[in-house]
Amino acid sequence: MGASDAGCGDLPPVLSSFVDAFVDFSVSGLFFPPNPTPSPAPAATRIPAPARLVAIGDFHGDLPKALQALSLAGLADPSSARWTGGAAVAVQVGDVLDRGGDELRLLYLLHRLKLDAAAAGGALLTLHGNHEVMNADGDFRYVTRAGLEEFTAWAFWYRSGLAMKHLCSGLDPPRDPFRGVPESFPGVKEEFWEGFRARIAALRPNGPIASRFLAGNQTVLLVGDSLFVHGGLLQQHIDHGLERINQEVKDWIMGLNGRRSPSYLRGRDSVVWLRRFSDGPNCDCGQLEEVLSMIPGARRMVMGHTIQEGINGVCEDKAIRIDVGLSKGCTNGLPEVLEINAGDQPRILTSNPLYDERWKQDRKQQAVVKEQVKEGLAILVPEIILKEVETKG
């Protein structure tokens, strides 16, 4: 091929598409056609309420458990990994990365589901969690051995693709994302150096994985009257501007806004680290109401980040916490998702067969509300838990 560049005249586009599809399949096991449906337009910061809205908590590198949650929500077929949610809108609140070994496979899966959802008239919207921010910043404290191995394998296939593309002079020389990445890491075992190099190359601002998958995330979303954020929002974040936050973070991920994350993504009071409204039953309801009042139309804040024994709400369900520690790298929690249908109260879809027992324990501590048995084991529960629950086996 290299000896006969004249034969490359019509080959570059075909070769490039083939190589990209080859690398994608080798890394993820998923096939993306050379000319896929155009990627969905970037989500706006404020979106009208859909007929069906679903919220899903942190995945943390666990593909099988993520598929269980998506299947429970009626959004994906776990056997084919294709979208089944029709026109539903789903929000995943971040922390796809770290604590597990399926990080890249999850990013690829979510990308394909986004394409499928858009073609079906729905949408899958993803947020940044603190672990996406940490990895883009080069902070790998919560990376697992399996996670490093997955990125090492990605580096092999990505470099193989670069080598293939260099076979034909008709292609523009592809950028080498490994350029400038350190060869060694003092204080880190040498067996992990290649995994560290791969993660830095892939996930740093303007890295191929960051720019392809993470740049499509939002940091905060208002869908109907539900405000979605990984950690939480305070008054100073609203003053900074929700649209401005989303655009600045996107620019940072794309390498257009410096190497280090914006200050409102770092520290205990940042939008991806805040636990003020999600840590235990004590919540500053007054401050929460003040924050919500600053955003026209916002009725509730839906958050991940802080692991709960099950999805729950406080402050009259103005704060809803949906991280159930799903991943085996966390607490291996049973899947639960939040469903908000137009005109209805939010309800929990759960696969937890012990939900009735959890309800009984809460009932002893809370004021009792009127019970109402519904089809599919749906029940009304005390206020500390969202008022309508559907259990699925």
| Residue-level pLDDT at 35 | 59
What DSSP designation does 377 have?
G
Q: How large is the average pLDDT for residues 278-293?
A: 93
Mean pLDDT to the nearest integer, 14-39:
80
**What gap in Å lies between CA 8 and CA 297, rounded to an integer?**
57
- Which of 257-261, 293-297, 311-315 has the lowest average pLDDT? 257-261
Which phi and psi (to 5°) does residue 328 adopt?
-65, -20
| Degrees to nearest 5, angle at CA 196 with 185 and 166 | 115
pLDDT at 38 over 80: no
pLDDT in tens, 50-92: 999 999 999 999 999 999 999 999 999 999 999 999 999 999 9
CA atoms within 13 A on the CB side of 240: 19
For tokens 């806004």, name the residue: 257
What is the percentage of the chain residues whose pLDDT exceeds 70? 84
Instruction: Please list the alpha-helical segments (H only) found in the chain.
Output: 11-28, 63-72, 103-119, 130-136, 145-165, 193-203, 208-212, 235-240, 242-253, 285-293, 355-365
The yes-or-no answer on residue 131 being catalytic is: yes
Q: Is the dihedral of CA 249, 305, 53, 334 positive or negative?
A: positive
pLDDT at 34 over 90: no
Structure confidence at residue 344 (pLDDT): 83
Confidence of residue 179 (pLDDT cuts 50, 70, 90): very high
Mean pLDDT of 9-35: 79
Give the mean pLDDT of 370-392: 36
Given the residues 111, 128, 131, 230, the one annotated as active site: 131
* Average pLDDT value for residue range 17-28: 90
132-157 mean pLDDT: 97
Statement: residue 40 has pLDDT above 70: no
Q: Measure the CA–CA gap between 233 and 105, rounded to whole angstroms.
A: 30
More confident residue, 302 or 351: 302
- Is residue 155 pLDDT above 70, yes or no? yes
Dist CA 183 CA 195 (whole Å): 11
Q: Is the pLDDT of residue 385 over 50?
A: no
Residue 392 has pLDDT above 80, yes or no: no
* Contact criterion met (CB below 8 Å) for 349 and 73: yes
pLDDT, residue 61, reads: 98
pLDDT at 39: 61
88-136 confidence digits (pLDDT tens):
999 999 999 999 999 999 999 999 999 999 999 999 999 999 999 999 9
Which has more pLDDT, 381 or 4? 4
The stretch 285-298 carries a mean pLDDT of 97
pLDDT of residue 384: 36
pLDDT per residue as tens digits for the range 206-245 = 999 999 999 999 999 999 999 999 999 999 999 999 999 9
> What is residue 345's predicted lDDT score, i.e. its pLDDT?
87
Give 257 or 108, the one with higher predicted confidence: 108
Whole-number pLDDT of residue 387: 43
Query: Residue 152 corresponds to which amino acid?
Result: T
Query: Of all residues in the chain, what percent carry a pLDDT higher than 90?
Result: 74
Whole-angstrom distance, CA of residue 319 vs CA of residue 303: 8
How far apart are alpha carbons 216 and 207 in whole angstroms? 13
The pLDDT mean for the chain works out to 87
- Per-residue pLDDT band at 41 (split at 50, 70, 90): low
Q: Over range 314-337, report the average pLDDT.
A: 96
For residue 212, with 0-12 CB atoms within 10 Å meaning exposed, 13-18 middle and 19 or more buried, which class applies? middle
What is the rounded distance in angstroms from the CA atom of residue 329 to the CA atom of residue 144? 9
Token representation of residue 155: 């580096």
Q: Beta strand 82-83 with 76-77: parallel, antiparallel or unpaired?
A: antiparallel
Q: What is the pTM of this model?
A: 0.88
